[in-house]
A = this chain, B = another copy of it.
Amino acid sequence: MNLTDADIARAHQLEPMEVIAERAGIDPQFVVGYGRDKAKIDVAALPEQPRKGKLVLVTAMSPTPAGEGKSTVLIGLADAVRATGARTIVAIREPSLGPVFGIKGGAAGGGYAQIVPMEDINLHFTGDLHAIAAANNSLAALIDAHIHHGNELSIDPRKVTWRRCLDVNDRNLRHIVTGLGGVAHGVPAESGFDITAASEIMAVLCLASDLTDLKERLARIVIGQTYAGTPVTVSDLKAQGALTALLRDALSPNLVQTLGGTPAIVHGGPFGNIAHGCNSLIATDTALRHADVVLTEAGFGSDLGAEKFFDIKSRAGDLDVSAVVMVATIRSLKFNGGAAKDELQQENLAALQAGLVNLARHCDNIQKFGPTPTIALNHFIHDTDAEVELVQRWAEDRGLRAVLTKVWAEGGAGAAELADVVLASVVDKRSAPLYDPAAGTLASLQTIAREIYGASDVELSPQAQKDLKIIQDNGWDTLPVCISKTQYSFSDDPRKLGAPSGHTVKVRSLVPRTGAGFVVAMTGDVMTLPGLSKRPAAQGIDVDAEGNITGLF
């Protein structure tokens, strides 16, 4: 009988949170329970201590639609690193609820490399995303109420850029008209919802260093323009205090555990394709102050996640990456080498060989930030020995190590060799960002497009050109850029697999995120609010009389 992720998690006996806290080097008095087996770390009350840990960043090659198990490898690797005797903490994103109801399979690892309690983490967890949505939507209400009650600030209702958000997959909410029904019910306006993970408030929460910084960042958020074209900020609406109150508890990082008993800080969850894709800076910082080794991840492929990790998060938080793990799979290599989606389980050395260009590009890119990556070849049961050997030989030829890992089946034991190789790869050299944002938005975009995506050019749509003008006029063009792009290709076209080059990156629009401190460049058809499929996973979810949830994984 094959055990499911849920079977494995349910059979597991969790350790008390006090034990996990002590294992993390954190005095349990600063760890506050939020339901059974989950807690928040009261960072404001923690005794001050310097960072001491080495930061290991786990990223990946371009994925198939099924995902390549980046989190799973990270979790198994963390358990393996802890087995070497190092005090180890995992720092990863918290999952979004919306997609859980769309596609079966939450986001907390799998097999014997999971973070638990998985149901809780994938449903409301400790309420952080709900708090972000409440802050986001309270701000929307304050804007519309201001316009309704005489509009003292002369906000142009057609130029309100602040959207609402919910953690739900609901395509019907992407484009809406509000304020209908007559004078008593507001001023009619075009609006729309994004998924909560895409809210600027999520980015702000993930980049804030403390409550004071959080409030200052919130105050700087631009929500639209006046009729005269002047930006209107949260501070103009005097809303930053109220929003900070709503986010106070959400700013505290969440502590849970892996199946192997490694402390895991799971906090903040911007998407990797439509946002900056890294867990909160506070989570990473707290982990670095208490552990010898901190394992963290960056969303989707390294073109999206790792680039933003180095250029946005590390810059904001003064982080050093001491080692990088590049997760690859045989199936994704074959997919990138041209094999059809439904033929990935068959041995195909030609496609595999062809797909290695994708992995090569990802590995080359990482070295532009400093570290030489270790490839973690995440094992799937259909992989053949010949296929594995081909990848390992290829890596060796390039001076890299590709280590086979079996964390799904074996947990930490399946990553023992990987742990040794990664720990041996740790360097003291500082990692560095790719570009200097002082050169301006367009130059930053061009550098990323050329160096990371292999593109020859960046093309701004007429809308993006108008946006750039506003960004330049307001002095925001020295902020780093956060590119919203498909995760399936280095280009902005999800069908261009492998390692496309010479293409043009088409930017549809540029959105200043002055609270987060970056400019979002929207490319291709990236959706900021997913929809549900014809047979949504929600229909298979159930709860028995004792409260056991099934069908979530």
Residues of chain B within 8 A (CB-CB) of A536 are 142, 145
**A546 CA to B138 CA, complexed, in Å:** 23
**A46 CA to B133 CA, complexed, in Å:** 34
Establish whether residues B97 and A134, one from each chain, have CB atoms under 8 Å apart when the complex forms. yes
Nearest opposing residue in chain B for A171, CB measure: B186
Give which listed residue, B124, B168, B242, B533, contacts A539 with CB less than 8 A.
Answer: B242
Establish whether residues A141 and B180, one from each chain, have CB atoms under 8 Å apart when the complex forms. no
Q: Which residue among A35, A133, A179 has the maximum number of chain B CB atoms within 10 Å of its CB?
A: A35
Residues of chain B within 8 A (CB-CB) of A237 are 539
Check A85 for interface membership: any CB of B closer than 8 A. no
Q: How far is the CB of A116 from chain B (nearest CB, A)?
A: 16
Establish whether residues B138 and A168, one from each chain, have CB atoms under 8 Å apart when the complex forms. yes
**A178 CA to B175 CA, complexed, in Å:** 6
Residues of chain B within 8 A (CB-CB) of A531 are 145, 148, 186
Establish whether residues A137 and B176, one from each chain, have CB atoms under 8 Å apart when the complex forms. no
Establish whether residues A245 and B552, one from each chain, have CB atoms under 8 Å apart when the complex forms. yes
Establish whether residues A141 and B170, one from each chain, have CB atoms under 8 Å apart when the complex forms. yes
Check A545 for interface membership: any CB of B closer than 8 A. yes
**A173 CA to B144 CA, complexed, in Å:** 10
Nearest opposing residue in chain B for A244, CB measure: B543
Nearest opposing residue in chain B for A42, CB measure: B36
Give which listed residue, B119, B131, B149, contacts A534 with CB less than 8 A.
Answer: B149
Residues 31-71 of A at the B interface (beta carbon under 8 Å): 32-36, 40, 44
- Given known A-B contacts A33-B33, A137-B168, A180 and B177 have beta carbons under 8 A apart: yes
Number of copies: 2
Residues 97-127 of A at the B interface (beta carbon under 8 Å): 97, 101, 119, 123-124, 127
Nearest opposing residue in chain B for A143, CB measure: B172
Give which listed residue, B35, B171, B542, B551, contacts A34 with CB less than 8 A.
Answer: B35
Residues of chain B within 8 A (CB-CB) of A404 are none
Establish whether residues A32 and B35, one from each chain, have CB atoms under 8 Å apart when the complex forms. yes
Residues 207-255 of A at the B interface (beta carbon under 8 Å): 210-212, 215, 237-239, 241-242, 244-246, 248-249
**A500 CA to B259 CA, complexed, in Å:** 66
Q: 0/1 per residue, A3-27, Cβ < 8 Å to B?
A: 0000000000000000000000000
Nearest opposing residue in chain B for A529, CB measure: B185
- Given known A-B contacts A241-B543, A531-B148, A547-B211, A130 and B141 have beta carbons under 8 A apart: no
Give which listed residue, B32, B145, B170, B180, contacts A144 with CB less than 8 A.
Answer: B170
Give which listed residue, B145, B172, B551, contacts A179 with CB less than 8 A.
Answer: B172
Establish whether residues B144 and A166, one from each chain, have CB atoms under 8 Å apart when the complex forms. no
Q: Which residue among A138, A545, A551 has the maximum number of chain B CB atoms within 10 Å of its CB?
A: A138
Residues of chain B within 8 A (CB-CB) of A148 are 171-172, 531
Establish whether residues B137 and A170, one from each chain, have CB atoms under 8 Å apart when the complex forms. yes
Q: How far is the CB of A517 from chain B (nearest CB, A)?
A: 20
Residues of chain B within 8 A (CB-CB) of A542 are 241-242, 244-245
Check A265 for interface membership: any CB of B closer than 8 A. no
**A83 CA to B179 CA, complexed, in Å:** 52
Check A167 for interface membership: any CB of B closer than 8 A. yes
Establish whether residues B212 and A545, one from each chain, have CB atoms under 8 Å apart when the complex forms. yes
**A538 CA to B245 CA, complexed, in Å:** 10
Establish whether residues A169 and B141, one from each chain, have CB atoms under 8 Å apart when the complex forms. yes
Establish whether residues B174 and A181, one from each chain, have CB atoms under 8 Å apart when the complex forms. yes
Give which listed residue, B35, B97, B172, B546, contacts A185 with CB less than 8 A.
Answer: B172
Q: How far is the CB of A224 from chain B (nearest CB, A)?
A: 14
Q: How far is the CB of A10 from chain B (nearest CB, A)?
A: 15
**A242 CA to B536 CA, complexed, in Å:** 10
Check A187 for interface membership: any CB of B closer than 8 A. yes
Check A549 for interface membership: any CB of B closer than 8 A. yes
Nearest opposing residue in chain B for A241, CB measure: B542
Check A532 for interface membership: any CB of B closer than 8 A. yes
Give which listed residue, B36, B178, B549, contacts A172 with CB less than 8 A.
Answer: B178
Residues of chain B within 8 A (CB-CB) of A1 are none
13 A-B contacts (beta carbon < 8 Å): A33-B33, A44-B545, A124-B246, A127-B127, A134-B168, A144-B171, A145-B536, A148-B172, A174-B185, A175-B179, A175-B185, A211-B543, A248-B543
The 4 closest A-B pairs by CB, nearest first: A241-B542, A175-B181, A130-B130, A141-B170
Interface residues of A (CB under 8 A from B): 32-36, 40, 44, 97, 101, 119, 123-124, 127, 130-131, 133-134, 137-138, 140-142, 144-145, 148-150, 166-181, 184-187, 189, 191, 210-212, 215, 237-239, 241-242, 244-246, 248-249, 531-534, 536, 538-547, 549, 551-552
